[in-house]
Structure 1
Amino acid sequence: MRLSCSAALLAFALTACSTSDGPADEHLVAPILTSAEAQDEYTWARPTEARVTHVSLDLALDFAAQQVGGTATLDIVAADDAREIVLDSNGLQVSAVTDGAGEPLKFTLGENADGSEKGEPFTITFAEDSGAVTAPEQIVVTYKSAPGAEALQWLSPEQTAGKKHPFLFSQGQAILNRSWIPTQDSPGIRQSWDARIAAPAALGVVMSGIRRGDAESGPDGTKIYTFEMEHSVPPYLISIAAGDIAFAQLGPRTGVWAEPSVLEAAKEELGDTEAMIDAAESIYGDYRWGRYDMIVLPPSFPYGGMENPVMTFLTPTFIAGDRSNTGLVAHELAHSWSGNLVTYASWRDGWLNEGVTSYIENRITEKVFGELRAEQEYALSYAALVGMIEQEGENSPVTAMRTPPGTSPFDTASEAIYDKGTVFLRTVESIVGREKFDPWLRNWFDSHAFQPATSEMFLADMRENLLKGDKALEDKLMLDEWVYGTGLPGNALKPDPKAFAAVDAAVAAYADSRDLTAIEAEWPKWSAAEQRRFLERLPEELSPSELAGLDTTLGLSGTRNAEVQFLWLDAALRNRYQPVVPQAEEFLTRVGRNKFVSPLYAQLMAQDEWGQAIARALYARTRGGYHSMTRGSVDRIVGWTE
């Protein structure tokens, strides 16, 4: 067993079973937090009664049936009076459950009684009578994922760059891994894991764990891959990808996987990765995960990136040819401290992962690319936050960093989770000074490594170890207003207006004159951030001739930068510019990143019959190529019905 805690200690679930007051031992079982803020309403599990500590997967990938199947062996620890353990399921097809010795155990797959997205309770019974019972140390579940499991996207060869082989990737966050792994799927129930994966011999397999040895030949023309994650992680970070992929080394501990035709461009774009790790370590301490590899997935991947440990998943839309979008890589790397090392216990604390990570991303950017780029990216983030609050209203609960009761954490505005968290920490840093703030944040990661956390814990640690009882400083920082309040607190650190002074002057002049003469010479010299700033601040209403002039003069239709292309398409569609429709259709057919897809469909649907006809016809053709998360979002936007 991979345990350092007794079942008796787990019954109380209040400690990490550590015998010292120093930093948490990463090899010990992580605690189960029991405060009100730590409660996760999106799991059926009752971890203070019985919990999973390790998952061992032995699975085969069936591309024809679009299912994974095999066994999951769960190490568990239970309180003395526990008579069952409750796991999470979303469509799992379970055929048998035994203990570690092979003795059958009774189980039930319940119904999703409240109709929520959290799936079904999967209850495994140890004993039904009232006598003494000893919970098994292991449970073995034989199962298959259902076809259409939400966490898994199976791509046909035609949906890949190479067009020869199928592709599979998973996306577990937030609560989708329960559709292919039977475990307690909650960020506050950290688990180590290992896996043995059988895949078609023509395909390579990567996971968010360290590969152990070379692939071995298996039965029926398969290859067997073995992986291990020795650290405890939140279950949503267990991930897999399989396809026609090749590898390129970037540095001593970094590399990239991609389809062969994409690999060289990806390698070039990611050339600063090792420097980013060095930059992060210089501020926040050792990178504790061994390797930092990445895989560039096919375009249907719904996110920019996913911070799966040792194997960040990336969208190909970050490849611009000039490393201008590698802030995405800095962000996913920063999760190696914020989110993966210390993880929110509840989805309501989304900012505790993403906001802290976005702040660290900006610090990495400053060290590697310079203060100007970092300040420009902060200014873009600040502007996005202000724009969201203006749109939603300063009293809207979706503008709060910690999502309040009555609002789904999955409905909270992303700007409140990412950008508001960034502005909050930049504000604190500016008031207390980096010489105090940096050591405090590093100590937070050290003392809570491989453990769950809450906003309450974060603020308590800040008050004890950073503020140290300074009441005047407490009043100046407005900590509770930032974390629990809505809108933007009055002490928010504004970006340096000099960061975009030239661009802001240019866009103001254009708004008055609609003359691009002065901008034409400067546009190629501007950074991608400066180009984005210009496009974001264009006048709302633009005529067809003005849009044609922007496109021709600035070369917007030919840009390789997806962020810039998206802003151009959004402005053109907002003004019902018919010549851009083929380009928008090509973009939305090729790209599945929800950051781009949902807003463009929403923009089309806002344009009455003209845009709605385009959106509905296009979505009918493209829907099958999107990930389930993107489909769910766009379904609501266009009013899709089967």
Structure 2
Amino acid sequence: MKLKYLFSIAALILFISSCGNDAEPLDKDQSINGVVASHDAHSFSNTDEIRTKHLDLEIDVDFEKKTIYGVARHHMQRLKDTDTAIFDINGPEIQKVTLGKKGHEKETDFIIGTMQEFLGQPLSVKIDKNTEYINIYYKTTENAGALDWMDPELTEGKEHPYLYTQGQAILTRTWIPVQGTPANRITYSADVTVPSELLALMSASNPKVKNPEGKYHFEMKQPIPVYLIALAVGDLEYKSLGKNCGIYTEPSMVDKAAWEFEDLPKMIHAAENLYGPYQWEQYDVIVLPYSFPFGGMENPRLTFANPTLIAGDRSAVSVIAHELAHSWSGNLVTNASWNDFWLNEGFTVYFENRIMEELYGKEVADMLALIEFQELQTEMSELDEEDTHLKLELSKRNPDDGMTSIAYVKGAFLLKTLERDFGRQRFDAFLKKYFSDHAFQTLTTEQFKNYLNENLISQTDVNFNIDEWLYKSGLPKNCYAVSSPRFEKIQSLAHEFAGGKDIFKKPAKKKGKKQLPALTRDQYVPQEWQAFIRALPKKMDPKRLALIDEKLHFNNWGNAEVATEWYVLGINSNYTDIRPDIERFISKVGRRKFLLPIYTALNKNKESKAWGLEVYKKVRMNYHPVSTMTMDELLGYKP
């Protein structure tokens, strides 16, 4: 930081008071002293007084120094008289701040407030009554938690470096100075310079081929919350899958990804038939490197996806259906704060399941829902009661604490219960109207509750206690119950195996009937094998697990969901023969959903913990900061 741009609180108060008598004083909870603004516990910004309406970015991506040099040009909308505009930062080095249009700028004073854990700092900028443009010159630092700078050896091609961002929930402020509340939607444009051999992409209009000068211009004309601003830079290739959709990957993965996501146009069609037109023009997917900490991220126009979705059998495409559904729930209609996160994810899990039902049938959709419901029940038993409410209270907590199965699956089962009680036809009409009425808006849980009462509950004689779902712990007694005969069959098979039966022996031929084959992996889909593993005892004789390995080869399956279930069972059973497979998996895959249960299982006893920690030290550099933060805390590791 350049000290000449820092000054005391007292000096700031003096310049504010000198700017004119027509200015209203800052509210106590929105002061320049670093107290979090009351409208959003996770942002310092004073968006109720002055807000960004358009952001114009100019950034230069320097892979050698692993630094982004940028100018964030904020076009502001004034809502009240104020002498200060407050932004959120958490890592960027602020070089200077100017007021005015590009080319007609004058430097102004600013102050950087006290650092607060996970929130960062308020950047308070002196403005005058005519201020319309605020330009923040900055560079990123090694503390930019949104950025994953990858050396060539960590990519598929091994020749070029790679960079991608992950902004949700509040990490965008680590690489761009922004007003970081989801309640404020903005449009943005960007001019990005990268090495000429690389392609740059953003959550905006995107190129299909590389620019020989490494210069790219982007436009996002629909207003979005800033956590959806995203950037990826790498040796990338594009392949179209339909009139308005396609995939980007490193060249060696293009054909595999195109085959895996072949049904994407059908998904878009199914989604539009359910809840109205897709309003973002283009829908593309970029398959990132394995370090990406999530299965997918719904950045508008460009879903970020983990390569674990390329299972080789299309068994993980429900994640793509989920990210597509976010184009309505989350991106089109957004939670106003992270306390209302279920409005993004509960709607999306429900919508995802409906897309899967439309494309692959109710039987498949029910199996997927049941897998998620089992995960919800497990996680609920481990959470504090207040964290099982849909409406959360995350003040003074990291908003990532709310990213549990409660928001995703309990939220989805609220909607499934509403569908059951009010009828699918009526409920679909309600949801379609909900997305239309609130398009490009943000919503609180209370606003949704009022809308639900006015547009659905009050129009029927159905007695539905929505408060119990929103504000009470656990699951209400009226929760929709999902079942799967196929799961019941595979679970019975697991119980037979646990009881000592040789389930791999070829069944005896019955007179007059066709000879049944011996049990093989291909007889069941991956979700059924997940149910099989979950139905086995939590600890088993390693010799019995070795038999499963011999017959079913879970240790080398492309479906990472099944592999993770298998590795956890093996760790709990002290089946050390699979440690090489586990090490290969966690050395390559950085997806937090898979790392967390594996490292948690390893952490349960002294010997496996020591082995897991040694592996972690070797492979930690392969993970995104989102994952390392979680694993460091779990393992008690201090880098």
Tell me, yes or no, whether TM beats 0.5: yes
Among residues 165, 168, 171, which one is paired with 1:170 in the alignment?
165
Distance 1:513 1:37, change over 3 A: farther
Measured after TM superposition, the shift of residue 387 of structure 1 is: 2.1
* 1:381-392 aligned within 5 A: 381-392=372-383
Matched residue type, 2:233: A
Task: After superposition, give the CA deviation of every residue in 1:25-74 in whole Å (9 maximum; x if it has no partner).
Answer: xxxxxxxxxxx999310111011111111110011000011111121110
Task: After superposition, give the CA deviation of every residue in 1:246-268 in whole Å (9 maximum; x if it has no partner).
Answer: 11111111100001111111110
Q: Report the Cα distance in structure 2 between the residues aligned to 1:420 and 1:50, rounded to whole angstroms.
A: 36
Q: What residue number does 2:192 align with?
A: 197
Matched residue type, 1:628: P
Q: What residue number does 2:488 align with?
A: 501
Among residues 99, 102, 108, which one is paired with 2:105 in the alignment?
102
Measured after TM superposition, the shift of residue 450 of structure 1 is: 0.4
Q: Is the 8 A contact 1:532 1:567 kept in 2?
A: yes
* 1:106-125 aligned within 5 A: 106-112=109-115, 115-125=116-126
Structure 2 residue ranges without an equivalent (≥5) = 1-23, 25-35, 507-517
Matched residue type, 1:155: M
Secondary structure class of the residue paired with 2:312: coil
Q: Is the 8 A contact 2:295 2:319 kept in 1?
A: yes
Q: Decide which moves more: 165-174 or 61-70.
A: 61-70
Measured after TM superposition, the shift of residue 412 of structure 1 is: 3.4
Matched residue type, 1:138: Y
Measured after TM superposition, the shift of residue 561 of structure 1 is: 1.0
Among residues 318, 333, 336, which one is paired with 2:324 in the alignment?
333
Among residues 596, 599, 602, which one is paired with 2:597 in the alignment?
599
Q: Report the Cα distance in structure 1 between the residues aligned to 2:403 and 2:62, rounded to whole angstroms.
A: 37
Q: Report the Cα distance in structure 1 between the residues aligned to 2:394 and 2:170, rounded to whole angstroms.
A: 19
Structure 1 residue ranges without an equivalent (≥5) = 1-10, 12-35, 128-132
Identical counterparts, % of pairs: 36
Q: Report the Cα distance in structure 1 between the residues aligned to 2:296 and 2:69, rounded to whole angstroms.
A: 27
Q: What residue number does 2:282 align with?
A: 291
Q: What residue number does 2:32 align with?
A: none
Q: What residue number does 2:50 align with?
A: 50
Matched residue type, 1:251: G
Measured after TM superposition, the shift of residue 80 of structure 1 is: 4.4
Task: After superposition, give the CA deviation of every residue in 1:464-515 in whole Å (9 maximum; x if it has no partner).
Answer: 0112254x52x3x321111111101000111124242211221222232353
Q: Report the Cα distance in structure 2 between the residues aligned to 1:314 and 1:214, rounded to whole angstroms.
A: 20
Check if 1:363 corresponds to 2:354: yes
Q: Is the 8 A contact 1:65 1:147 kept in 2?
A: no
Among residues 158, 179, 186, which one is paired with 1:184 in the alignment?
179
Q: Is the 8 A contact 1:212 1:228 kept in 2?
A: no
Q: Decide which moves more: 79-88 or 228-237.
A: 79-88
* 1:288-327 aligned within 5 A: 288-327=279-318
Task: After superposition, give the CA deviation of every residue in 1:181-231 in whole Å (9 maximum; x if it has no partner).
Answer: 11101111111101110000010111100137976554xxxx101110001
* 1:571-610 aligned within 5 A: 571-606=569-604, 608-610=605-607
Q: Is the 8 A contact 2:92 2:177 kept in 1?
A: yes
Q: What residue number does 2:411 align with?
A: 421
Matched residue type, 1:320: A
Q: Report the Cα distance in structure 2 between the residues aligned to 1:203 and 1:405, rounded to whole angstroms.
A: 40
Structure possessing the higher relative contact order (Cα contacts under 8 Å, 6 or more residues apart): 1
Q: Decide which moves more: 482-491 or 519-528.
A: 519-528
Matched residue type, 1:517: F
- What TM-score comes out, normalization by structure 1 length? 0.89
Q: Report the Cα distance in structure 2 between the residues aligned to 1:57 and 1:383, rounded to whole angstroms.
A: 44
Q: What residue number does 2:616 align with?
A: 619
Q: What residue number does 1:267 align with?
A: 258
Check if 1:510 corresponds to 2:497: yes
Secondary structure class of the residue paired with 2:496: helix
Task: After superposition, give the CA deviation of every residue in 1:335-361 in whole Å (9 maximum; x if it has no partner).
Answer: 000000000011011111011100000
Q: Is the 8 A contact 2:376 2:410 kept in 1?
A: yes
Secondary structure class of the residue paired with 2:160: coil
Q: What residue number does 1:410 align with?
A: 400
Task: After superposition, give the CA deviation of every residue in 1:490-544 in whole Å (9 maximum; x if it has no partner).
Answer: 0011112424221122122223235332695253121111111111221112111
Q: What residue number does 1:7 align with?
A: none
Q: Report the Cα distance in structure 1 between the residues aligned to 2:208 and 2:76, rounded to whole angstroms.
A: 27
Secondary structure class of the residue paired with 1:468: helix
Measured after TM superposition, the shift of residue 407 of structure 1 is: 7.9
Distance 1:54 1:41, change over 3 A: same
> How many residue pairs align between the two structures?
590
Q: Report the Cα distance in structure 2 between the residues aligned to 1:389 and 1:217, rounded to whole angstroms.
A: 52
Secondary structure class of the residue paired with 2:617: helix
Check if 1:145 corresponds to 2:132: no
Among residues 623, 628, 638, which one is paired with 2:625 in the alignment?
628
Measured after TM superposition, the shift of residue 560 of structure 1 is: 1.3
Matched residue type, 2:493: A
Matched residue type, 1:125: K
Distance 1:364 1:38, change over 3 A: farther
Matched residue type, 2:401: D
Q: Is the 8 A contact 2:37 2:43 kept in 1?
A: no
Distance 1:407 1:514, change over 3 A: farther
Q: Report the Cα distance in structure 1 between the residues aligned to 2:40 and 2:156, rounded to whole angstroms.
A: 39
Q: What residue number does 1:258 align with?
A: 249
Q: Is the 8 A contact 2:496 2:503 kept in 1?
A: no
Q: What residue number does 1:227 align with?
A: 218
Q: Is the 8 A contact 2:85 2:126 kept in 1?
A: yes
Secondary structure class of the residue paired with 2:45: coil
Check if 1:243 corresponds to 2:234: yes
Task: After superposition, give the CA deviation of every residue in 1:584-637 in whole Å (9 maximum; x if it has no partner).
Answer: 11111000000011211111011x221111111111111111110100000011
Measured after TM superposition, the shift of residue 558 of structure 1 is: 2.1
Matched residue type, 2:559: N
Distance 1:73 1:214, change over 3 A: farther
Matched residue type, 1:330: A
Distance 1:406 1:141, change over 3 A: closer
Q: Is the 8 A contact 1:69 1:144 kept in 2?
A: yes
Check if 1:433 corresponds to 2:431: no
Matched residue type, 2:183: G
Matched residue type, 1:126: I
Measured after TM superposition, the shift of residue 300 of structure 1 is: 0.3
Q: What residue number does 1:90 align with?
A: 90
Q: Is the 8 A contact 1:151 1:180 kept in 2?
A: yes
Distance 1:398 1:518, change over 3 A: farther
Q: Is the 8 A contact 1:404 1:484 kept in 2?
A: no
* 1:28-47 aligned within 5 A: 39-47=39-47
Secondary structure class of the residue paired with 2:316: coil
Q: Report the Cα distance in structure 2 between the residues aligned to 1:203 and 1:620, rounded to whole angstroms.
A: 31
Task: After superposition, give the CA deviation of every residue in 1:374-424 in whole Å (9 maximum; x if it has no partner).
Answer: 01111112222222223437xx11211121366844323611011111111
Q: What residue number does 2:567 align with?
A: 569
Q: What residue number does 1:126 align with?
A: 127
Secondary structure class of the residue paired with 1:403: coil
Secondary structure class of the residue paired with 1:191: strand
Matched residue type, 2:330: G
Matched residue type, 1:455: T
- What TM-score comes out, normalization by structure 2 length? 0.90
Q: Report the Cα distance in structure 2 between the residues aligned to 1:593 and 1:629, rounded to whole angstroms.
A: 9
Q: Decide which moves more: 304-313 or 509-518.
A: 509-518
Q: Report the Cα distance in structure 2 between the residues aligned to 1:457 and 1:238, rounded to whole angstroms.
A: 26
Matched residue type, 2:429: P
Matched residue type, 1:276: M
Q: Decide which moves more: 491-500 or 200-209.
A: 491-500
Q: What residue number does 2:449 align with?
A: 459
